[in-house]
Structures are given as C-alpha cells and as structure tokens.
Amino acid sequence: MCLLLAAGCRARESSGAAGGGSALGNTTVTPGNPPAQPLVASLPRAPGKFAPSIMAIEGDGNVFGGGELLADIDTCATCHPDVAAQWQSGIHSFASFGNPIYRTNVELARSMLGNANSQHCGGCHDAPLEVDGAMKATIAADDLRAHTGVSCRVCHAVRSTSTDGNGSYVLAAGELPTPNTDDPVSVEAHRKAVSVKALGDELCVACHRGFLSPDVDVPVHIAGIDEPTFWRSSAYTGNGTGRVDKVEQQGCIDCHMPEVDAPGEEYIADRRVRGHYFAGGHTWMAAMRDDPAQLARIRKMLVGAASIDVAGAIVGRDRDASGPATLGGRWHLPADGAPVVGGERLQVDVVVRNRLVGHRFPGGVNDMQDTWIEVEARDARGRLLASSGTRHERDPRDQEAHVLRSYPVDDHGTLMEEHELPTFRAVVSNHTIAARDSQTIRYAMDVPAGVALPLEVRARLRHRSRNLIVQAAVCRAGRKPEGRAFLQQARDQRDMRVDPCAPQPITEIARTSVWMGAGWEAAAARAGAAARASGYAPDAAWERGYEHGMGLLGVISERLDEPRQVLAHTLAQLPETAEYARARATVMTQLGAVLGRQGRTDEAIAVLAQARALLPAPHPPAIDAIAADALARVWRWEEAARHAEEVTEKAPQNTAAWVMLARARGSLHDDAGALAAARAGLVWSPRDPDLLRSQATALAGLGGGESTLAKQALAAFDRFRAPDEAAALRIACANRSERCQRERELGHVHVMTPAR
C-alpha cells in the first residue's frame, strides 16, 4: 500500500460514490501554487468533560438541579399527563438500567472497560447519571436516576447538537422556567425554553449515530448504529444516489412521532401533539412490560415495511455441480411456472426489499437484530420437501437461516453473538438493507424423483427484537440478585413491571408463495391474492425483475452477469411507451450500475444517457452518481468529477457523493477542490475514513506533509480509519465457521435441508 501522503498515491485512489460543489469553491491549483483561501482542516470533535461520550453542558458548567431534577417526570406530567403516559410506553422511558437488555450490555462493558468508559453509553442512555458523574461509580438499584432513561428534560433542554454522534448534544445549564397556567407570559416563556422545533430531526442524530474508537479504550474504530447517514443519503431526504426513486420526503419525527390528538386534560394550545410512543422495532420490551397497545403500534409499523418475493428460478445442474451456484442451469424469470421436474436441481432467488423504512432495515443495533427468512418447498399434496430457516425460531445456535443482521468478530475472528461490544475488532458483513434497496439470497435443493407437481415454494420474513442468545443472557442476568434488585426498584420507583424472561413476540413482516412445474397455473389461481401478501400492482409487475436485479448488485465480480441478465430481461418486457418511460429509466439506471462494475464503461454511459432522456428535468442524482462510479473505476477522473459535481449539487447531504468528488479531484491533482469536497462531506459524517484520508492527502499537497494541519489531518485519519486487520479477521472467521464463510458475501447460497 502506498503511503498516504506520497504525491503519486493521489492518482491511484480507489473509486467510491459521487459528489460536488462546496463552500470552499472548486479552485484548481498546480503543485506549489497554494489556493487563495486559508487552509483549514475539518477535525472530528473530541470528547470533553463526559468522555468518551461527546455530550456537553452549556458553558461547561452544571445542569440546574443536577441529575435528580433531570430525572423528574412528575412535574412535567402535571400539565402534560397524556404525553407523559405515551412516553411511559415508549423505549426512551426504558433506556437506562431499568431496561434488562441495556443493563446486561452496559454492565458487561463496565466490567471489561471500567466504569469511566461506560460514559460512552451514559451520554445517550443515562444523562441523569452522567451529569452527576455517577456513571463512574457503582450504580445502586434504588437510584431513581438509573430508572428514567431519556427523560422530558433531557430532550427539551438540548440547546444544540452536532453530527458527531455518541451523545453529541449540549444541555442547557440554567433552570427551565416552570409555567403558571394562569399567566400567558409565563406559559410562553416556558414554551420557548423547552421548544426543540428548531432542532427538528437533528435532535435525534446526536444519539442515533454511535461508534467505537480509541476514545473508549478499544484499539479500532468501528461504526455502529448510524441511522442519520443512511437516512440522509436516501430518497426520503431527496439525497438518494443508488437508484431512480420517488417517495414522500420524511424524517425521524414524521415516522416515529406522528401527530396525535391531545385529550382535554392535556395543556396544549392547538389540540394536536407529537406522539411520544417512539414506536420502532422494540417488540420484546413491549412484551416484557405486558403492554399490548404498544406492541400493536410497533407491529403496525413492522408489517409490510419490507417485502419478500421468490423472483427467479434456475432449473438444472450447474456447470460444476459441486461448486457454487452459477448460471449453468436454465433461468426462468419470474420464478412462477418454472419447468421443474423430479430429479433436477432447483435454485430460487428470494428477494427482500426495504420498502418503507427510511434507514437500514432492521435498524438500531445491527448485531443483535433477529429478522430472518424462512423458505419451504412443498409438493402438490402439501408435504414438505426441503426447507431453510425454519429452525431459527426456536434454536439459538441455528447456523442455517439468512438473518438481516451484522456479524462482528473479536481479535481471533470469532463471531460475537451477545453484543460483547468491547471485544469487537471488525465486521465481517452487514446484511441489513438500506432504504429502498433490496437483497437477493439464493436457495438450492434437489427435487426428489417422482415428486407430485406442482411444487410450491413459500417464503416468509419474520422479526423479533433480539436473537435468542441475547435473550437467554438477559434472562439469566435478570434472575441474579442484582438483576432482581433492579427489577424490583423499577417497580417501586416507576411502577414498571418488567419480565426479562418473557418470550419474544415474533412478527411476520411479509410472505409469498410461487408454484412451479406441471399444473402451476391452477394451483396459483386457487391460492388467489392471499398467496402474495406483498403483492405488486398489475402495471408494476416489472418491479419484481427490477428488485431481483438490484438485489444481485452486491455479488462478486465473477457473477455480475447475473444481475445484467435479470435487468436486461426485465427491460425487454417493458413496453416502449410514454406510460412506462419512468419504469424503463429506473431499470436502465440499475443496468448501467452493473455495466459500470463490469468495466463496460462506454456501454454503461450510453445506457445511463438513455435513462436520462426518458425522464423530465431535473434528473435524479442517481444517474450521475452511477456514471461517476463507472468512470472512476477506469480512472477517467475528469469525466467522473463532472458527474460527481452534479450529484453533490442535487444531493448535498449524501456522504458517499462527497467521497467520490474528493477522490476524483484529488486524482486530478486539484488539491484545493479535493479539500473543499472532503470538508463538505465531513460536515455530515465527521469520522468518515475516506473523507478524512482525502482531506489529509489534499492538505499535504497544498501545504506540505510536515505542516501542522497536514499532521493533524493525518492523525485524524489514522485514528478513525478502517482496522488494518479487518481482512485477516474475516478470513479467520470464514476458516472457523461455515456460517461466516457463507454470510461474508452477498448473493450467497443456502442449501435447503431435505425433509426427513
């Protein structure tokens, strides 16, 4: 690997996504010719008083009333009883030690890293403890501050936030004025003091972006929960660059705090209030508390949030029957009616698409998530022939199911299953799905000779909050004396009755069935609309092929002809009429992405130009982003930079867009332009390693590698770059675990288990 600051490295920077435009301008300079603007580095904010959390207090002082007042809910509830009751059901109310899941995790971290480092967690989960310095000591079970979580005053006393994460908010130090309801001036002063409307969704960013780093006394930087990056870079903010997409723009508050009617006793002027239930994916916490109303709210959000489809089938043997799946069989697109016969090999592509979630699905802490796929093949009599994933519901050591989660490993390459956060050293893969994206998983089986046809293939997407290994650990911890003490105090202090051993609810998010072989049409007709709960409108049947091809984009380069064939087939089925112009452009854009990854650059640019011609202006940023990526892969940097600039003008909050622009400009020796792009991207993602690298390289080119700024920028990159040992740990994990070997790549194959 060439040295970061070596001048020759700039022409060899690898490609990324697209970007352009910046506050510092696009000043082209030659080596030795400094730009007109003063050189400035954008450096990640360092933790302060509450390190390693980034939380702060105005003036670096103390919060009025300290943690006890910050934990007070009753005062707020006198005027806002309904909002307080809503909050009582929501997960923010259970963010602290009264939540058995959190307590199990944070106590593990405290035992391994020390109490002081647990402030990393406390900045978001335990502000009442944090402001008093109590996270550095033993937490008593009867401490009210440990049973409040994210209280009213925590959110409503926030004065500013930054995009850093790990609790990057600033709390008001002074007293929040208590209103006199008979005095309009007093009420208005209170309303003004507690309003967070100006912060909007930025209030959520401070805690819903988290990362490990040397700040927490671990030797690597690993990004964790990061809803802001994926939401900002999605169609829901108008900054999506992965595909042609059109959805209603929405933010965190729109989805998780929709407006509700305020009852008569609620002291609110306009009779409408933002709901404080914070429904998301925490079905287990609702079950622990025996809160069926909250569980219903959560399930309403989950059902249909993603779709599942058996989109394509490959019938017949591979060219190499002992090797991985190839196109050696015969494609049948879509899978319905595939000419299956007994004695042949059948492979089906199951496609899951994140349709409604504005960030990755499932969101939150990805390594503990437990959303999985079940696939069954049955004969005409309904007898089970083969399956995959059906044991996962009850088997904590199931190795077979495809699970939408991330796979972190320790320094030996061992998969970590219980959120042992201090041991994380690399992430092998992450199978959660970005907003509006799809994922294709292949399943293979040998069809028994003499099978009764038609064959039915059923697929289900199922969800529970946490995997069974975590569930068992939380239950064990809750049965220990200290666990029982916290549960009793949660009941005494907050009237929270929590059962950490309550079974987890399982929610079916989507299901589908397809039939293959002789008689398939009659079987499908008998099943009717119920067969495809995640159905497609008749005029949008092309979406099945589009989502299938899009889901195959992540396969290894040797298999990229698969998504090319699927998308080309889908495009051929679409009428060349004005009614389908947008649909054709949508498929063409994904086809251009495949061609670009295959190195067929001119073909990719031509297809993207056709897509552009089919769409009205302004054209979606995805077309230019994919063009920039295709051109960067073959070092056509000048053209790539022009497209990248277009992208950042249309999608200025897309981090990947700025990464591409910084690389393209750096590779053209436009150090000032690269610095401008890197700094613009770091506004939204201050620890992005690609942007930190481009910044350091540009500053070295402009001011010399020995300049103070260049050294500071290089130190920031070194602190937050991807772990050097990540590749070796992935290999070690693959060598010791069949599941790790399979799951480390997208588009992998699950061999279905024959029925006994």
pLDDT of residue 533: 41
pLDDT (tens digit, 9 = 90+) per residue, 159-177? 999 999 999 999 999 988 8
Question: Does residue 30 sit in the same domain as residue 103?
Answer: no
197, part of any domain: yes
406 within some domain? yes
CB neighbour list of residue 704: distance below 8 Å, 6 or more residues apart: 710
Q: How far apart are the first and last CA of the chain?
A: 52
- Long-range contacts (CB closer than 8 Å, 24 or more residues apart) made by 139-146: 139/97, 141/97, 141/482, 141/485, 141/486, 141/488, 141/489, 142/485, 142/489, 142/492, 142/493, 144/68, 144/71, 144/493, 145/67, 145/68, 145/70, 145/71, 145/96, 146/96, 146/97, 146/98, 146/486
Claim to verify: residue 556 and residue 423 sit in the same structural domain: no
Largest CA distance in the chain: 84
**Helix, strand or coil, per DSSP, at residue 377:** strand
Neighbours of 744 (CB within 10 A): 17
- Please give the pLDDT value at position 579: 94
HSE-CB of 73 using CA atoms within 13 angstroms: 20
E strands of 343-433, at which residues? Answer: 345-354, 370-378, 384-388, 402-403, 406-409, 426-430
Q: Where does the pLDDT of residue 329 fall: very low under 50, low under 70, confident under 90, or very high at 90 and above?
A: confident
- Nearest Cα neighbor of 135 from 173, 167, 90 is 167
Q: Are 313 and 548 in contact (CB under 8 A)?
A: no
- DSSP classification of residue 577: S
Q: Is the pLDDT of residue 60 over 90?
A: no
For residue 178, the model assigns a pLDDT of 87
User: Would you list the DSSP string of 607-671?
Assistant: HHHHHHHHSPSSPPHHHHHHHHHHHHHTT-HHHHHHHHHHHHHH-TT-HHHHHHHHHHHHHTT-H
pLDDT at position 534 over 70: no
Per-residue confidence (pLDDT) for residue 156, from 0 to 100: 96
Question: For residue 705, what pLDDT is reported?
Answer: 77
- Phi, psi dihedrals of residue 171, rounded to the nearest 5°: -90, 145
Strand partners, 371: 463
Cβ neighbours of residue 530 closer than 8 Å, sequence gap 6 or more: none
Same domain, 520 and 595: no
Neighbour count for residue 273 (Cβ, 10 Å): 18
Distance CA 231, CA 251 (A): 8
Q: Which of 675, 745, 709, 716 is nearest to 164 (CA)?
A: 716
pLDDT at 181: 84
Same structural domain, 273 and 224: yes
The average pLDDT across 502-510 equals 97
Taken as a whole, the chain contains a residue count of: 756
Q: What is the pLDDT of residues 549-567, one digit of tens each?
A: 999 999 999 999 999 999 9
The reply to whether 188 and 274 lie within a common domain is yes
**Residue where a domain stops, chosen among 249, 268, 299:** 299
Residue 355 is encoded by which pair of tokens? 């349709």
Taking alpha carbons only, the member of 56, 424, 395 closest to residue 223 is 424
pTM: 0.92
Sequential DSSP letters for 460-477: EEEEESS-HHHHHHHHHH
Q: What are the C-alpha distances in Å from 737 to residues 430, 488, 742, 745?
A: 16, 41, 9, 14
530 and 599 assigned to the same domain: no
Q: CA–CA distance from 18 to each of 234, 531, 672, 709 (Å)?
A: 14, 41, 18, 26
Q: Could you report the per-residue pLDDT of 109-129, keeping only the tens digit for each?
A: 999 999 999 999 999 999 999
Q: For the segment 72-95, what is each residue's pLDDT rounded down to a tens digit? A: 999 999 889 889 999 999 999 999
Residue located via tokens 């199990």 = 104
Q: What is the DSSP string of 284-321?
A: HHHHHTT-HHHHHHHHHHHTTSEEEEEEEEEES--SST
Q: Is residue 372 a part of any domain in this protein?
A: yes
Q: What is the pLDDT of residues 391-407, one digit of tens each?
A: 999 999 899 999 999 99
**Residue 621 domain flag:** yes
- pLDDT at position 211 over 80: yes
Closest CA to 106 of 119, 93, 94: 119
- Least reliable range by pLDDT among 203-207, 477-481, 704-708: 704-708
Q: What is the band of 328 on the pLDDT scale with cuts at 50, 70, 90?
A: low
CA separation, residue 7 to residues 2, 36, 283, 345 (Å) = 10, 21, 53, 54
Tell me if 743 is assigned to some domain: no
Q: What are all long-range contacts of 518-527, with beta carbons under 8 Å and residues at least 24 apart?
A: 518/453, 518/454, 519/380, 519/453, 519/454, 520/336, 520/337, 520/453, 520/454, 520/455, 521/337, 523/380, 523/454, 523/456, 524/336
Q: Quick one: which of 206, 11, 24 has its CA closest to 676?
A: 24
Mean pLDDT within 454-483? 97
Asked whether the beta carbons of 712 and 207 are under 8 A apart, the reply is no
pLDDT of 29 reads 31
| Residue at 216: amino acid letter | V
**CB proximity list for 140: less than 8 A, separation 6 or greater:** 146
| 513: three-class secondary structure by DSSP | strand
What are the Cα distances from residue 604, in Å, to 562, 595, 620, 652? 16, 5, 16, 24
Whether 8 shows a pLDDT value over 80: the answer reads no
Same domain, 422 and 337: yes
According to the model, what pLDDT value does residue 704 have? 81
Q: Are 355 and 305 in contact (CB under 8 A)?
A: yes
Of all residues in the chain, the percent with pLDDT exceeding 70 is 91
Query: Cα(124)–Cα(104) distance, rounded to whole angstroms?
Result: 16
Give me the percent of the chain exceeding a pLDDT of 90.
83
How confident is the model over 451-471, as a mean pLDDT? 97
- Residues 405 and 390 reside in one and the same domain: yes
On whether the CB atoms of residues 208 and 168 are closer than 8 A, the answer is: no
Does some domain include residue 616?
Answer: yes
Cα–Cα distance measured from residue 240 to residue 234, given in angstroms and rounded to the nearest whole number: 4
Residues 678 and 651 in one domain: yes
pLDDT band for 18, please (50, 70, 90 cuts): very low
CATH code of 345's domain: 2.60.40.10
Write the DSSP symbol of residue 370: E
Indicate the residue among 299, 326, 360 that finishes a domain.
299
- For the record, the structure tokens of 211 come out as 């990362």
Output 7 or 612, whichever has higher pLDDT.
Answer: 612
Band of residue 180 on the pLDDT scale cut at 50, 70, 90: confident
565 CB-near residues (< 8 Å, 6+ apart):
327, 331
Which residues are CB-neighbours of 380 under 8 A, at least 6 positions away?
A: 452, 453, 454, 455, 456, 519, 523
In a domain, 494, yes or no: no
pLDDT band at 26 (very low <50, low <70, confident <90, very high): very low
Range name among 35-49, 165-179, 692-706 with the lowest pLDDT average: 35-49
How many folded domains does the chain comprise?
Answer: 3
Determine contact, residues 366/354, Cβ cutoff 8 Å: no
Q: Is residue 478 part of a domain?
A: no
Give me the domain span that covers residue 216. 56-299
Same domain for 289 and 352?
A: no
CB of 225 closer than 8 Å to CB of 280? no
Give the confidence band of 24 by pLDDT, cuts at 50, 70, 90: very low
Strand 406-409, strand 402-403: pairing: unpaired
Q: Identify residue 358 by its one-letter amino acid code.
A: G
Query: Is the predicted pLDDT of residue 36 greater than 50, yes or no?
Result: no
* pLDDT at position 706: 82
Last residue of a domain, one of 233, 265, 299: 299
* Position 268 confidence tier, pLDDT thresholds 50, 70, 90: low
Q: Is the peptide bond before 214 cis (omega within 30 degrees of 0)?
A: no
Contact 387/449 with Cβ under 8 angstroms?
A: no
Please report which helix (H) or strand (E) contains residue 742, including its range: helix 738-743
Whole-number Å distance between alpha carbons of 703 and 648:
26
**CA gap 442, 26 in Å, rounded:** 46
**Shared-domain flag, residues 185 and 314:** no
* Dist CA 400 CA 513 (whole Å): 21
Provide the CATH number for the domain around residue 594. 1.25.40.10
- In angstroms, how far is CA 229 from the centroid of its own chain? 8
Sign of the Cα pseudo-torsion (64, 70, 75, 76, in order): positive
Q: Quote the mean pLDDT of the chain.
A: 90
Q: Are residues 321 and 199 in the same domain?
A: no
CA atoms of 555 and 462, how far apart (whole Å): 24
Specify the pairing of strand 272-274 against strand 259-261. Answer: antiparallel
